[in-house]
Structure 1
Amino acid sequence: MSTRKANLGPTAAVITVIADVAAFIIGLWIVLYLLDANEQNGLVEFIHDVSRWLATWSHDLFTFDEEWARVVCGYGLAAVVYLVVGHAVANRVRRL
C-alpha cells in the first residue's frame, strides 16, 4: 500500500462520519416530529434547527396534503442523500 493511499483512509472515515451524523440528526428530527415532541424544548428546537439547515434544499420539496408526509419525505430524502453521497465520496477517496 502506498503512503498516499494510507493517508486517505482517515479522510474517508471523516467523510463517512460527517455524512452519518447529518443523516442521524435529520432522522432524529423525523422521529421527534412523528412522536409530537415539545418544540419548545431546547433539545428538540436545536435538532429541528440543525435538521432544517441540513435539509434546506429538500424540507419543502413535496406538497402532500398531510404535514407528516411532507416532513418524512422532505427530510427523509435529505438523510438518504447524505448517506448515499457521503459514502460514495468516501469510497472514491479510499480508492485514490
Structure 2
Amino acid sequence: MALHIGRRRRTTTEEAPARRPRPWPRRRPAAGDAGKTAVVERKTPRWRRSRPNPISAMIMAAGWAAAAVLALGMLLTWGDANPGNALVDAVLDAGRWLATPFHDAFTRTDPEEQLYINWTLAAVVYYVLARALSWMTRF
C-alpha cells in the first residue's frame, strides 16, 4: 500500500471536491471585437522550454566525470587500495590534478581527512559549475 503524505485517499462513497478554475488561459477582448473574447495562452518559462543541446550535455558529462573521478579516488584511498597498481595510480593522479586548486583549502593533521574534505569540495564545485554552465548554454 502506497503512503500518501498530505492527501487523504477518497473512498467510493465520497464525492470529489470541486475544482477551482485555472487563472489561464485568460480571456481578453480583442481590439476590434467588442463582444467577442480572445484566448491568450500563457508562455511557459524559458528554463522549461529549453532542451539540452549537445554542448550543454557535454559540459554536464564533464562535470559528472570530474566528480566521479574524485569520488572514486576518495573511495580507493578509504579502502587502502594499492597505489602501485596502474589503474589506482591513474585515478589518484587524475584526482590530484583535478583537486589542485583546492589543495590547501582546509588543512588537517590527518592527511586522509584533508584529502576527503578538499576533494569533496572540488567535486561539489565542479558539479555546480558544470550545472550552471550547462544551463547557460541551452537555447
The answer as to 2:136 corresponding to 1:58 is no
- The alignment yields a C-alpha RMSD, in angstroms, of 1.5
Kindly name which structure, 1 or 2, has the bigger radius of gyration based on alpha carbons.
2
Q: Deviations over 1:25-59 (max 9, x none)?
A: 01100010011110111001000111111111113
Q: Deviations over 1:61-81 (max 9, x none)?
A: 221112221011111111110
Higher alpha-carbon deviation: 44-53 or 55-64: 55-64
Q: How many residues align?
A: 90
Same amino acid, percent of matched pairs: 36
SS in 2 for 1:57: helix
Q: Which has the higher helix share?
A: 1
The 1-side partners of 2:67 and 2:55 are apart by 19
The 2-side partners of 1:70 and 1:40 are apart by 22
Q: Which has the higher strand share?
A: 2
Which one-letter code corresponds to 1:70 in the other structure? Q
The 1-side partners of 2:113 and 2:104 are apart by 11
The 1-side partners of 2:81 and 2:103 are apart by 18
The 2-side partners of 1:35 and 1:26 are apart by 14
The 2-side partners of 1:33 and 1:12 are apart by 32
Structure 1 stretches of at least 4 aligned residues deviating more than 2 Å after TM superposition: none
Gaps of 5+ in 1: none
The answer as to 2:136 corresponding to 1:92 is yes
1:23 to 37, 58, 67: 67
Equivalent in the alignment of 1:35: 79
1:69 to 99, 113, 117: 113
Gaps of 5+ in 2: 1-49
Equivalent in the alignment of 1:12: 56
